[in-house]
Amino acid sequence: MLHAHMQNDRPPRTTPYFGVPVVVRIFILLHLVTLVACGGLVEPEDRPAPSNPPSTNVPVPGLPIVELAGGADELCALRSDGALFCVDSSKEVAEATPSRIADLPSATSVSVARGYGCVVASNGDVWCWGAVLHATPSSRPSRVPLEKATRQIACADDHCCALAVDGKVLCWGSNAEGQLGNARAGVEATVPVEVELGGVRATALTSGDQFSCVLTTEANVRCWGSNASGNLGIGRRQRSSAVPVVVEGLRDVTALRSASGTTCAIGVGQQVHCWGVEVSLQPGPDGLAGFAYEPRAITGFVPIQRVAVGPREVCGIDKAESVVCYGYSPNYGAAPGPALGGGASLITSLARGAKGIALSDFKVAAVDAVGVVWAWGNAVSPSKASATPARIAFPR
């Protein structure tokens, strides 16, 4: 009885360790020894920083910009909800105030030119605003009378073309050089007319000064309209063509862009070929550049995933998602220097990488991975041009 009483009077055990199985005790002791041997316990606040910095692709509040378009003095941005905003690119970035183009339906793509622009609505309709080239000019957006749904629009200063979902192309506006492609040069059209593609279907569309080009299902390029500066890419001097002609020397083309008198295509090996106003040559004393009557590869400018064309420049996005520009680019922040046949004249990197690009007469603009738009260049004087990207505050 005394023995039992003494057992009952023992103080309670306060060390939980002794009630633990032997195997678990051995594991805990080994673990503690290992920690001490490696320098002791590490408190949370003393943990070393990760070897890689945090990702810069941190979401930015609001809706992202998904597409950019550049005209003569205008940059426009299409938001993910289909709203369109434009800004005067002839102003400094800090002074540029984006404004929404009112009374437009939700849009899926946009093209702008000098004094006007057009969008493709989510239902395939085309709406234009400004000094429109169809029907009665109006300061408010109006619908273009197209019978078929459209998937892409390409506008230049004097005409505009639409690529229908069935691969046909329709154009309207001036036809002085046959830029409507309907074999009736000199007869303008206030309503869209069909381009005579000879049964071939188009997959992409682009327009420049008095000419247009398409990428076809055969992976070749066809152009029509003026050939004043080699715009047709046919290797010879010819005033114009009122019907599409095949651009020679190109194959496996994946992208196509035009502006002013220049067209560029991305072909085999993501190599860029251009024709028309020769971007690799600086303007001479008379202010004119040379002409390329057939496609010429831009050496030292590969590989390029996306391409954009300006008055005397070509810019693209490379594999590192940097923006590289080539040509005579004083407005874009590049020194004129000698002829640039050996590579790019300006390389600009964004913290989050470039996903889309557009050029106006005055600036380069790029949208990054989270839908923020950055621009660089100068509107007032090339001598003050800045190659440092600054954010354009498009509403999100």
Domain contains 72? no
Q: Are residues 206 and 285 in the same domain?
A: no
Q: How far is CA 76 from CA 44, 110, 369, in A?
A: 48, 8, 18
Using only C-alpha atoms, what is the Rg of the chain?
30
Which of 213, 231, 248 is a domain's end point? 248
Which of 201, 225, 248 is a domain's end point? 248
Please state whether the peptide bond connecting residue 303 to the residue before it is cis, i.e. omega within 30 degrees of 0.
Answer: yes
Domain count, the chain: 2
Digits of tens for pLDDT over the chain (396 positions)? 333 333 344 344 444 434 445 443 444 444 433 433 433 333 333 322 322 323 445 566 889 999 999 988 899 999 999 999 999 988 888 888 999 999 999 999 999 998 899 999 999 999 999 876 654 456 689 999 999 999 999 999 899 999 999 999 999 999 999 999 999 999 999 999 999 999 999 999 999 999 999 999 988 999 999 999 999 999 887 889 999 999 988 988 999 999 989 999 999 899 999 999 876 544 444 444 578 889 988 877 778 999 999 877 889 999 999 998 887 655 555 544 333 344 566 778 899 999 999 998 888 899 999 999 999 886 555 556 677 889 999 999
Q: Are residues 223 and 269 in the same domain?
A: no
CA–CA–CA angle 110, 162, 168 (5° rounding): 145
Residue 60 is given by DSSP the state P
Pairing between strand 74-79 and 84-88? antiparallel
The neighbouring-strand residues paired with 161 are 154, 171
Contact 273, 298 (CB under 8 A): yes
Q: Are residues 177 and 267 in the same domain?
A: no
Q: How far is CA 138 from CA 71, 128, 133, 163, in A?
A: 19, 9, 10, 23
3-class SS of residue 131:
coil
Domain contains 42? no
Q: Are residues 139 and 178 in the same domain?
A: yes
Domain contains 219? yes
Pairing between strand 291-297 and 304-309? unpaired
Q: Are residues 357 and 320 in the same domain?
A: yes
Domain contains 31? no
Q: How far is CA 194 from CA 94, 149, 163, 188, 227, in A?
A: 43, 14, 10, 13, 21
Q: Are residues 244 and 258 in the same domain?
A: no
Phi, psi values for residue 30, rounded to 5°: -65, -40
d(CA 60, CA 394): 13
3-class SS of residue 6:
helix
Q: Which H helix or E strand runs over 204?
A: strand 202-208
Structural domain range at position 198: 101-248
What are 110-123's pLDDT values in tens digits? 999 988 999 999 99
The two tokens of residue 13 are: 């055990």
The DSSP-derived string for 91-124 is S-GGG---EE-TTPPPEEEEEEETTEEEEEETTS
What are 214-229's pLDDT values in tens digits? 999 988 999 999 999 9
d(CA 164, CA 147): 9
Q: What is the CATH number of the domain that holds 230?
A: 2.130.10.30
Domain contains 393? no
d(CA 368, CA 65): 9
Domain contains 66? no
Average pLDDT across the chain, whole number:
80
Q: Are residues 195 and 210 in the same domain?
A: yes
Contact 265, 256 (CB under 8 A): yes
